[in-house]
Structure 1
Amino acid sequence: MVAPIPRDTINSQATVHAANAVVMVPPIDFKFNVETSADNEFQKSLTLSDAEIRTKALNEFYGMVELLRSHGVNVTVMDYSSEQGETPDAVFPNNWFSTSITGDIYLFPMACENRRREVRSDTLVKALRESGFKAPKVHSLGDLNAPKAFLESTGVMIMDHVNSTVYAALSVRCDRDLLQQYVNRAGFKEVIYFDTRMSSGSPVYHTNVMMAVGEGFAVICDEIIEEFERRRVLNSLQKTKDVISISEEQMGQFCGNILQLQNEKGERLIAMSLSAYNAFTLEQKRVLRQHGKLVPIDVSTIETIGGGSVRCMLGENFLPR
């Protein structure tokens, strides 16, 4: 089912930027993931049992599904069992696949062993076909089972489809060579990668917690980008975007982990967590509202324990029907 990406395959990216469909995976095995906590400083433990955590997480998940559907977004819920081992972070599917309007799905090598169990292309394709989408072509990037380098999809790559540009913060989870390989093969014109350093001294683990790009706006915690690279990133964004700079404290409230979508009527929405919404200033929210209706969602349990928020829970679906 899964074939390596042919070296001569170049899929030109369409100018459609805001997806009107998403894939979500319920947190049936959700709990604090010790493996990912090694470099994810956003994860925090709670004094709750695993059963209590999963109940809260499932309630937040299905509340989010219902809310997005009520706003006219097509949501495919991809469910699977734990027969192949627990998948505590399966609620964050955007880290292992991406889709394109050309009908392709790309699968990516994950850094943590227990996250590699999430990569189930047959289950994903079946769920998409049952939701009315054409059977996609499935490609893999690198070795998915025993990778020596990692590239965690739209967790580490922020895609500006309008300008055919990919932004990426380099880290253990974002290998520069794999990044360039994907950009070349998927038909993007430019990649802008950079180094980050948080106040702890560590790089940010995923670009999508510090940065989001919409059709006409960008949210970025530029203060954690190494100074000599910061201007290059901002200059690129400011050519076509309203740029909203957030602080590291706001990043910690997941203000960078937001996603612009569109509904069945073509109306723009910006999905974000309730904590992110509350952390944005009034002026920042005013600018964001020029680019879509703000949709705050309470996922406090998931984002506290999982170290990822609303954007991480959404696998954009650009596939044709």
Structure 2
Amino acid sequence: MITRSIADFQRQFAQLPATAPGCARGAFLVTPLGFHLAEQSASDNRYMAMHAGVDANAALAEHAQLARRVSALLPTVCFPGDAQTPDAVFPNNVFATAPGRSIIGRMRHPVRQREAERPDIRGFFRDIAAYQEIDLSTLDGVAELTGCLVIDRARGIGYCGLSERCDEAGAAAMHAAFGLRLTFCFELADGEYHTNVVMSVLAGRALVIAPGGFADAAVAQALAQAYAPRTLLLSAAQKADYAGNCIALSDDSVWMSERAAVSLGPDQRQDLASWGFRIEAVALPEIEKAGGSLRCCVGEMY
């Protein structure tokens, strides 16, 4: 089912137990070679620091540390970046997986559409990992994969924020491509470009959410209630510090940038710990100037 109805979502959520693996079995990243800020992306990404100078070497060092840390937990593949595709450091918007399938997104901006054409990444998933390729890149719509679609993998539920980066055609295409049981669509607040900046489902058993990122407060309330009492509410300032752009890479760890981790209060840290999550923080100050954070850097292999 694909729905925009809060009542439909609540009814279906109650009938979908968390029985599938909630975390990925591997990760893939794209290095920030030739790192700079893409002007096209800045047209609808207010998180980008377009007036700040960027240090490409510092971005490479940050990313190498991220890759090292993630690879200590999961098998991790790193693909080289390219100065012609500066946003490729955030690969989860263009490439994603579900069990047995690789999915290629339909990006809004040409600078990101070029990423979807990469034969090496396509070939890796198709020929080496033996995934069935589902190519949405020619879709008549916009579907920026797990940027706009936050997935509760354990339940097979997709939370799709509609904005310039995803429309209803894109939501329907992703629902089918990921093999979801339920997709709940809603409008993001003005100025928000991706759902994974305003919420994250942690291993199917907890929710991190910034209510101010939603156009309809009732939607945010319904999501928070669905995962209660394991719901972590974020302030606008914490959202701006990328605390919503986090990811559970194992059943007992939640990963976020150092900036995001510092923004959390003692009670929030205690809540995560009581729910069985240790915080793994990685410093990404240069990469975050490009308008995304740790979750955006990590592609998941299911």
TM-score (normalised: structure 2):
0.86
Gap regions ≥5 residues in structure 1: 1-12
Structure 1 segments, 4+ long, off by >4 Å, are 125-130
Q: What is the 5 A alignment of 1:87-98?
A: 87-98=85-96
Q: In the superposition, relative to structure 1, how do residues 208 and 47 fare at CA in structure 2: closer, same or farther (>3 Å)?
A: closer
Q: 1:307 aligns to what? A: 291
* Correspondent of 1:135 among 110, 130, 137: 130
**In the alignment, is residue 233 of structure 1 matched against residue 223 of structure 2?**
yes
Q: What is the 5 A alignment of 1:1-321?
A: 15-45=20-50, 47-48=52-53, 53-70=55-72, 72-79=73-80, 86-101=84-99, 103-120=100-117, 122-127=119-124, 134-141=129-136, 143=138, 148-197=140-189, 202-214=190-202, 215-225=204-214, 226-238=216-228, 242-262=230-250, 268-289=252-273, 290-303=275-288, 305-318=289-302
Q: CA deviation at 1:162?
A: 1.6
Q: Percent identity?
A: 24
Distance in 2 of aligned mates of 1:64 and 1:46: 25
CA deviation string 1:17-54 (max 9, x = no partner): 11131000000132111111111111113553x6xx21
CA deviation string 1:251-279 (max 9, x = no partner): 000000000012xxxx6321100000000
What code does the residue aligned with 1:190 have? L
Q: CA deviation at 1:125?
A: 4.4
What code does the residue aligned with 1:285 have? R
CA deviation string 1:58-109 (max 9, x = no partner): 0100011112223x22110112556xxx0111100000111112x1101110
Q: CA deviation at 1:159?
A: 0.2
Q: In the superposition, relative to structure 1, how do residues 116 and 123 fare at CA in structure 2: closer, same or farther (>3 Å)?
A: same
8 A contact 1:169–1:204 mirrored in 2: no
Q: 2:12 aligns to what? A: none
What code does the residue aligned with 1:141 have? L
User: How many matched pairs?
Assistant: 282
8 A contact 2:256–2:281 mirrored in 1: yes
TM-score (normalised: structure 1):
0.81
Distance in 1 of aligned mates of 2:278 and 2:218: 35
Q: CA deviation at 1:129?
A: 8.1
RMSD: 2.2
Q: CA deviation at 1:227?
A: 2.5
Q: Considering fraction of residues, name the structure with more helix.
A: 2
What code does the residue aligned with 2:130 have? A
What code does the residue aligned with 2:179 have? G
